[in-house]
Structure 1
């Protein structure tokens, strides 16, 4: 038979009394009762089981004081374990704690940490925590911070839903990495797996030494802090002011560890005076190169280039086009076909394409001679 809440609470209190040795008793006088003194115990040990008799949570402390009238225990350096299906899931510790109503509410303060048990090492910290075991809820009101590998998640406040393994970050949540600051409206993080879901608008700022920051915006974000891979939900825009580069795309993946951005959906971009389109995009932020694996379409004033694939480096300003290349110029309606063309962005922001040794076929349309008076032939002399 499952015990009622009051019975369970009495069980917890009995365990405290059995483990503790009171250093101060309750002295009574025949006329005026003395004010009860709190009991000081050598150790505090609270344990709770779930409906199936499996351990649910436990809390220990090397020293605690217990007020019988208020049913409040104050503990020094409390340590605890939270279980899931009877197995240890999280380890929790703090500088001090207050246990209210024999475990109905537990308040922790002073460098509170909640650590995922296992090799992952993901950690949630805060200055003040309110733990309600019956609701499987931990509320963090003092500087909540979550860390996973080199990623830090911060917010003004947070709620940890233990049964769902979900940390709700609210109030200006941020994802921080060296050189990266990502802001979003709200975020949900799952410490055991590292999964992250963020509601937008999303703004990511990537610092560049001596240059303006690169900016990436999206309507939402999904990914994993452990794998350091995130998907920006359309519409996605990328801006690099130093390289005069703008890209608008659909769902876009950002690999933070490899500094790689890719999209399997059509995109449009502007690189100085070039307007670029493609069926997909891959960009390496580390070496400032971009690759269009299909449907390359490049336009600039007076010229239009189409190719199967294109590559360019927005630092060296080199451009390469390969596979069924077709370059059309307005002047004389010139059409050039080749298997490969390359070019260099000039000071005016346009590219002058040349053939790197490949065979080139060029068609020219010469405009007809303008009408006018017939020319007189000079006299013929013999």
Structure 2
């Protein structure tokens, strides 16, 4: 759909026109006053493709009925010119006033604008045709059309507009034919999008809220999705193994490359800057795209918070990490702190001296193990 911000003091009474516009592929978002619409346009300029203006509408929010004037359209056109450094907006004037549609209008002439007549069916057909033709000349809109399915995950009820801007910026980088140079900056944008994704999963309790508010919550969220968080028992798989694996690997790269932590294991940013190509960075972006498309459907299909919470249980007791220091001939093991490992655990996990394990000790006997798993 072509997104249009629409300024008209009577837009609420023009439902039939709005339906007709939708049938032509236009999604109209209406505002009665310049003040209201301009605030939205400034904040979400990247969300809109075109601007549709009545000739006369309110300048300010809450203005007395019947006090419409050309001040409203004048303010909007000034704002359109101010925004040109960020985005160029084609605009169209649609009015039912004779002073705009039948008489020579100095305001329209000064702004090189043509007015379409609300009352003339042929003019409405012409308006929709001209708007479609104008969209074909706008590179950003064409990018949006090509990646519409991907960008849907940034709707207001999912990842939101801030992440829309980040994702759209990544798409534009990928579509350019020049080598990508701002590796560190773009990896930071990927990290923020993943954080937004995890926050959304937290709202649905796909990831427990307790994890989202913890220090180091991003990596712990990744572990949880993989079914490897040692503070939880799982009654069902959270996400497929390939999805959790790709998230984990992507986080490793972007946290290193965006300097999210002081310990740089891979020196990713240096590698990107010294590389003769940008294939490595592009592969990270495409992996993000694939994950977002998968999670878009996953989130839509998992809106039931209670069902999501039934997939996991918070474990009573605290997991601690210990090292295996001894394995006896009878397969009893001993940890560094003296805790005994039963032969069943030693054999099941094929433990050897030097292995690290996560354990929860029995409440009534602190030298024996209640739960155990290999440390990640």
TM-score above 0.5: no
Which structure would you say has the larger RCO, counting Cα contacts within 8 Å and 6 or more residues apart?
2
Whichever structure has more helix as a proportion of its residues is 2
TM range (shorter): under 0.3
Structure ID, larger Rg = 1
Normalising by structure 1, what TM-score?
0.25
